[in-house]
Amino acid sequence: MSSLRFPLLLADSSYLHTLSPFVIDGLPVRWYGLSYAVGFLFAWWIMCLITKRGWSLLKPQLTGDLIFAVVIGVLLGGRLGFALFYNRALFIQFSPSFPWWDLLAINKGGMSSHGGLIGVMIAVWWFGRKHNVPPLHIMDMGTLATLPGLFLGRIANFINAELWGKALPEAQQANPPWWSVKYPAQVLDRWYSAIEPGTMTPRQYADKIAEVAHDFHITAPPGELTDKVVEAAQAKISILEQQLGSTVGLDQHFLDRLVLIASDTDYQKHAEVANTLKPLLTAYYPSQLFQAISDGPALALLLILVWLKPRKPGILASWWLIGYGSFRIITELFRQPDTGVVLIAGLQRGQLLSALMIAVGLAGLVVCSRSDQPKLGGLFARRPANPPATP
């Protein structure tokens, strides 16, 4: 994340991110968790629609059992994939509070889309074997059901102000376009950089910053900050310095900005705070929204075009792998690399995994097209109904 910018004289039409991660203030319901729940409901509805219209060999009454298996696959695969691909320390980290093992602390974030995909594939394969339905055929139908969840998950990433995009080129920072985004949390970057490395883990840094920042509650209107408010903030910083054993070293100008944006409610409520803060920030690509479009509408269009006529089992799933992997590689060009994850050959971890997905998808097209399985489905097939297999 870039350092703070000096105030600019030109008009700034970029979007200032002031969204709360909570659906309703005061209630522990986050948009990210809600996106998972709504995504699963959409998946169930799509699978019911597919089975009732006879596009699938799966009986409609088994749809609920399939979605349950997929939910387990997503949660287990997504969490284990995140730990394996991005943060292996979760396997050995423990805390004194519930759920005690950090690997189980999904509420703190950390899910891998690639890991979730692997979990779904395993769950679908097991389910197909159990109910005597070709697993590749279930995967084909499941590709359509995944799209709403992928789309909503990326929207939730944007609401949470996580997985930031890269900064726009310097030439565009003076007058950033309307679709670019600025994050008030960037003000805390100087705080991060002022803390001497090695004294705390990254997770402890984040937890401590969040704890201290949310303790600032502005009661005075913008422009009327009293000495008492500033003194309270300085006291919080002094406590932090004692706990870290190092000097944070914030100047008064930065302290004023920190106090202004420390409470989500206040900087959403007061336009003066936003106007004061906005020129100091860097404009970023909204990579989360780019990926929401590619994972949702763009991928849906590709799959619909492929499925206009009946296909052999595995063809649609192979195209899903190719499409998702290709879109992910492109959109990752606008996203910041994950912190602490080493680039390989200049590629981010997500791009490498996506390249593997494309390779698997291409191989799947060759193998499945040569199989002796009958063609199934097809949106515009004259007689799309197929006799359901007996479970």
Closest Cα to residue 321, out of 96, 160, 126, 120?
Answer: 120
Residue 235 CA neighbour count, 13 Å, CB half: 8
Query: Is 101 strand, coil or helix?
Result: strand
Rounded distance between C-alpha atoms, residue 350 and residue 167, angstroms: 19
16: phi then psi, degrees, rounded to nearest 5: -90, 120
Per-residue pLDDT at 101: 79
Sign of the alpha-carbon dihedral angle for 27, 111, 338, 327:
negative
Say how many C-beta atoms besides its own lie within 10 A of residue 342's C-beta.
8
Q: Which residue has the higher pLDDT, 160 or 85?
A: 160
User: What's the first-to-final CA gap in the chain, in angstroms?
Assistant: 53
Whether the Cβ atoms of residue 180 and residue 15 lie closer than 8 Å to each other: yes
**Residue range 375-385: mean pLDDT, rounded:** 67
Sign of the alpha-carbon dihedral angle for 254, 256, 259, 264:
negative
| % of the chain residues with pLDDT over 90 | 23
Whether the Cβ atoms of residue 146 and residue 303 lie closer than 8 Å to each other: no
Per-residue pLDDT at 298: 96
Rounded distance between C-alpha atoms, residue 82 and residue 46, angstroms: 27
E-assigned strands of the chain?
15-16, 181-182
Most confident range (mean pLDDT) of 61-75, 124-138, 149-163, 288-302 is 288-302
Rounded distance between C-alpha atoms, residue 277 and residue 349, angstroms: 33
206-222 per-position pLDDT tens digit: 455 445 444 444 333 44
Read off the tokens for 108: 């703190």
344: phi then psi, degrees, rounded to nearest 5: -120, 120
Read off the tokens for 371: 């199989």
Q: Rounded to two decimals, what is the model's pTM?
A: 0.71
Please provide the average confidence, as pLDDT, over all residues in the chain: 74
Most confident range (mean pLDDT) of 10-19, 201-210, 279-288 is 279-288
61-81 per-position pLDDT tens digit: 888 888 898 888 888 888 888
Tell me the one-letter amino acid at 79. R
**Residue range 6-21: mean pLDDT, rounded:** 66
Rounded distance between C-alpha atoms, residue 311 and residue 364, angstroms: 13
Q: Over 70: is that where the pLDDT of 235 sits?
A: no
